[in-house]
Amino acid sequence: MFTIQKTQNPFALIPVVGRISGKVCAQELSLIKTALILLILSVHSLKSISQVDTLKIKHKNYPSISANYQYGNIMPTTDFVKGDNLLGKPMQKYQAYTVKMLWQNPGYTNWQKIYNMPYYGAGLTIGDFYNPREVGYPVSAFGILGIPILRWNKLELYSEFQFGIAGNWKHYDSISNSKNRVVGGALTVHLNLGINAFYHLTNKLDAGAGISFVHFSNGGFERPNNGFNIYSPSVELKYHLSGRPDAKLVTKPGRLGRSNDLYLMMGYGDYQLSDHELDTNYFAVGGISAIYFTQFTNAFRLGYGTDLNYWWGLNALANGTPGPYAMENITLGLLVQPEFIIDKLSLVGGIGIYAVHRNYGNFNQTYQRLGVRYEVYKNISLGVNIRAINFMLAEFLEFNVGYRIRWMK
């Protein structure tokens, strides 16, 4: 026996099927696909990029493995975390065990020279919120990019970016887990932004310590979806399987070709209304963006543009059912979008303001964009962004395809 979840999406080709005795629903399958895209883009593309300039020349890569332990604090951003839970007290502490497989080399390609010998790879984390009955022990799989900030004789300081998927949650259930309104579905996005320092104990062994911000949410795919926000110190041991690459061998890439780009993007997503977080209606949002970029350095470009979207649920009725199709569902945003360039991979940020919005009013509400995109063929790219407001509340996951018109400087 199963239930069908309604989706207000006139262009959907496949119906959204509900849960069947514990199996994930179509929305969660979509999130799995999203996370796989993120993982593939952040790991496979980095490894393939590292080979682009050297297909005919064999260079030594330096693999390493590491074990990381985090013990941090959960930010009290929800009633559930503050104490409205079965524990009857605030949830304050978070611990996690992580293993990583990493690669690094002394700058065989231009992007590695630009970022001064970064490391990249994949990781697996098991988390513990000290509330297994209501939260479980989430397991994350993610891609990793570590960019050096400073290097001394035996001490190195890196920024580290992790992006992937987390599962194995005890998520919200109206009967068995009704107080957990933080995680609404079986899967979430795993995001970790941190600073790590490593000290060379031997030629192959490093001791590390750092601090990071960790975020779990599902991008508005399935509500309730307040998410967890954590700041966490960590310690780490890293073992270099083939010794370590010599940073002194990295050469400067010089000034590479730069461009001005007009980027045209079509985006689409499904979401649930935050005002009706416990209903089962999904709504579609789709639109177009036009962004003009100027590249300032080998690694950075900045864009200015507009977002025009149609939200099928913007004028939903008080009971969460769809309202009529109308012009009032159209929103217009003005945004600034910085991007970091890693060959064909772009790390996307952005902050905008809704110039026209039925519910927020005009020029009253800012929004944010965070994601990745990869150039799959010539000037065509595919990507995924998390769209949010107030830097905390996810609105939807924005799947997108884009086309770039380029003028070299």
pLDDT at 2 > cutoff 80: no
Q: What single-letter DSSP state applies at residue 4?
A: B
C-alpha distance from residue 364 to each of 63, 140, 356, 391, 396 (Å): 49, 36, 9, 15, 19
Tokens of 11: 């262009």
Q: Is 249 exposed, middle or buried (0-12, 13-18, 19+ CB in 10 A)?
A: exposed
Tokens of 2: 């199963």
pLDDT at 56 > cutoff 70: no
Mean pLDDT value of segment 25-50: 51
Mean pLDDT value of segment 255-272: 93
Rounded to two decimals, the pTM is: 0.80
d(CA 149, CA 397): 31
Q: Name the class of domain 259-408.
A: mainly beta
pLDDT at 12 > cutoff 60: no
d(CA 186, CA 180): 12
Mean pLDDT value of segment 26-35: 51
Residues 374 and 401 sit within 8 Å (Cβ to Cβ): no
What pLDDT score does 4 carry? 33
| Beta strands 93-104 and 393-408, pairing class | unpaired
Helices (H), 63-160: 79-82, 110-114
Give tens-digit pLDDT for 367-407: 999 999 999 998 999 999 989 888 877 788 899 999 999 99
CB count, 10 Å around CB of 319? 8
Cross-strand bridge partners of residue 368: 351, 388
What pLDDT score does 273 carry? 73
Percent of the chain past pLDDT 90, that is, above it, reads 65
Residues 224 and 243 sit within 8 Å (Cβ to Cβ): no
Domain definitions of the chain by residue range: 26-249, 259-408
Give tens-digit pLDDT for 149-205: 999 999 999 999 998 999 999 999 889 999 998 998 888 989 999 999 999 999 999
Percent of the chain past pLDDT 70, that is, above it, reads 84
Least confidently predicted of 10-14, 173-177, 284-288:
10-14
What pLDDT score does 360 carry? 93
Give tens-digit pLDDT for 302-321: 999 999 999 998 888 877 77
d(CA 281, CA 16): 10
What's the pLDDT band for 3 if we cut at 50, 70, 90? very low
What pLDDT score does 34 carry? 53
CB count, 10 Å around CB of 34? 22
Tokens of 4: 């069908």
What pLDDT score does 255 carry? 92
Least confidently predicted of 38-47, 72-81, 257-266, 273-282:
38-47
What's the pLDDT band for 223 if we cut at 50, 70, 90? confident
Mean pLDDT value of segment 217-226: 76
190 alpha carbon, distance to own chain's centre: 7
What pLDDT score does 54 carry? 43
Residues 49 and 111 sit within 8 Å (Cβ to Cβ): yes
pLDDT at 136 > cutoff 60: yes
Collapsed DSSP state (helix, strand, coil) of residue 33 = helix
Q: What is the largest CA-CA distance in the chain?
A: 68
What pLDDT score does 61 carry? 87
383 alpha carbon, distance to own chain's centre: 11
C-alpha distance from residue 209 to each of 67, 251, 279, 369 (Å): 11, 28, 43, 30
In terms of CATH architecture, what is 26-249? Beta Barrel (2.40)
| pLDDT, greater one: 19 or 260 | 260
